[in-house]
């Protein structure tokens, strides 16, 4: 069971209403931490059953312990907020406010963050447990050097050294616990093609093209000489907060460097809407790498037509051999705890669709 699978799932799942209620009770002081954890464990077991019913060969914990896909991880490293958000712009499916980062302390890894999550997941499934962690460049992308040096650091290089050390420590801890499948959620790369994002970065003094090189170098430092048992993929998207998005534009600006210089073996690429551009940038993918195409939307309840998705797979296959492709939703169903505006039933239908597509196109899930 070596990843990636032909039918993939990005990570987060819609929180059951009962779990959200228990979390609100905990925040009000009405229940204990142990009672909340028991509710989380029960919800995770149900999420694992959901993924098994859908036919997936992997299983995640739905990220049910997290307020957002990255806040839990970064807050274990210090007084850090990766995702401060103002009011969302526009209505459903509109561009939302880009989250910002506050770095009020140095990053220090003091103990495993997700090892216990992995152990619980492994105990609940015969599928391959998949653990998701945030990308190492999210803080800098959301705040730049100014956020790094505002309180905690005088030297940005020291910040990057601490980031590399923290991520490497966590990945080594996961590998030592027996974890073999990790997905890094690094949204920055997919956003560099947006002219508005480029302008915002320039406005704070950053050369967006130079940042691409910096982020690749930092990530490669983290990945260097990790245990061979650990298979790591990277997910890219343009924002997925309650049905909103944060950027638009194709992969053209990053593709050649992203696919050839970044030491990642497989990529999960958002491709569910015209905002992601066409498949032409996939021509830069080298022959030894694999692409998981996010062709099914988690932002809308409407179920995609299987034939339409197959046609898009065929179109992508003109640039990358279809033997090196897989299919998935474009992102998780709940990058934040409140989730995207779709019903639980639609979530299961979309996961089943992914599996059905994989079996029909490749003969396996």
Q: pLDDT digits over 16-62, tens only?
A: 999 999 999 999 999 999 999 999 999 999 999 999 999 999 999 99
Q: Is the pLDDT of residue 363 over 90?
A: yes
Residue that has been written with the tokens 């990642």 in this structure: 264
Alpha-carbon distance of 239 to 167, in angstroms, equals 22
Percentage of residues of the chain with pLDDT beyond 70? 93
Where do the domains of the chain lie? 17-362
**Helical H segments across the chain, by residue range:** 17-27, 33-54, 71-75, 115-124, 138-149, 156-176, 188-191, 195-203, 208-223, 255-261, 306-316, 344-362
150 Cβ partners below 8 Å, 6+ apart? 102, 103, 143
Do 131 and 114 contact (CB within 8 A), yes or no?
yes
Q: At what angle do helices 156-176 and 115-124 cross, to 10 degrees?
A: 30
Q: What is the pTM of this model?
A: 0.93
What is the three-class DSSP state of 236?
A: strand
Q: At what angle do helices 33-54 and 17-27 cross, to 10 degrees?
A: 160
User: DSSP secondary structure string, 66-99?
Assistant: -SBTTHHHHHTSSSEEEEE--PPPSSTTSBPPPP
Q: Just give the CATH number of 17-362.
A: 3.20.20.210
pLDDT digits (tens, 9 = 90+) for 62-110: 999 998 877 789 999 999 988 765 544 444 555 556 677 889 999 999 9
- Say which range, 38-47, 210-219, 245-254, has the weakest mean pLDDT: 245-254
Alpha-carbon distance of 287 to 294, in angstroms, equals 20
């Amino acid at each position: 069971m070596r990843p990636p699978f032909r039918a993939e799932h990005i990570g987060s799942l819609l929180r059951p209403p009962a779990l959200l209620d228990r979390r609100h009770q905990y925040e009000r002081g009405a229940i204990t931490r142990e009672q909340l954890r028991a509710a989380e464990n029960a919800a995770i077991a149900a999420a694992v059953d959901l993924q098994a019913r859908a036919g997936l060969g992997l299983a995640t914990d739905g990220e049910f312990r997290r307020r957002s896909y990255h806040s839990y991880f970064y807050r274990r490293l210090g007084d850090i907020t990766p995702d401060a958000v103002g009011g969302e712009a526009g209505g459903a499916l509109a561009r939302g406010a880009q989250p910002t980062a506050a770095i009020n302390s140095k990053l220090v890894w003091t103990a495993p963050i997700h090892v216990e999550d992995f152990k619980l997941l492994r105990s609940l499934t015969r599928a391959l447990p998949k653990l998701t962690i945030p990308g190492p460049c999210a803080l800098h992308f959301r705040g730049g050097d100014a956020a790094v040096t505002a309180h905690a650091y005088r030297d940005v290089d020291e910040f990057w050294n601490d980031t590399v050390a923290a991520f490497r420590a966590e990945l080594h801890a996961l590998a030592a616990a027996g974890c073999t499948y990790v997905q890094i959620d690094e949204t920055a790369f997919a956003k560099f093609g947006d002219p508005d994002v480029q302008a915002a970065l320039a406005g704070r003094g950053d050369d967006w093209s130079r940042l691409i090189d910096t982020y690749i170098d930092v990530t490669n430092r983290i990945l260097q000489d990790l245990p061979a048992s650990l298979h790591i993929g990277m997910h890219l998207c343009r924002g997925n907060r309650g049905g909103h998005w944060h950027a638009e534009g194709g992969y053209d600006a990053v593709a050649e460097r992203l696919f050839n210089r970044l030491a990642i073996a497989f990529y999960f690429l958002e491709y569910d809407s015209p905002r992601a551009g066409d498949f032409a940038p996939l021509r830069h993918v080298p022959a030894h790498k694999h692409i998981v195409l996010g062709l099914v939307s988690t932002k809308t309840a409407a179920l995609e037509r299987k034939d339409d998705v197959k046609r898009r797979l065929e179109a992508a296959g003109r640039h990358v051999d279809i033997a090196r492709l897989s299919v998935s939703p474009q992102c998780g169903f709940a990058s934040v705890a409140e989730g995207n505006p779709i019903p639980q039933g639609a979530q299961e239908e979309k996961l089943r669709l992914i599996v059905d597509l994989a079996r029909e196109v490749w003969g396996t899930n």
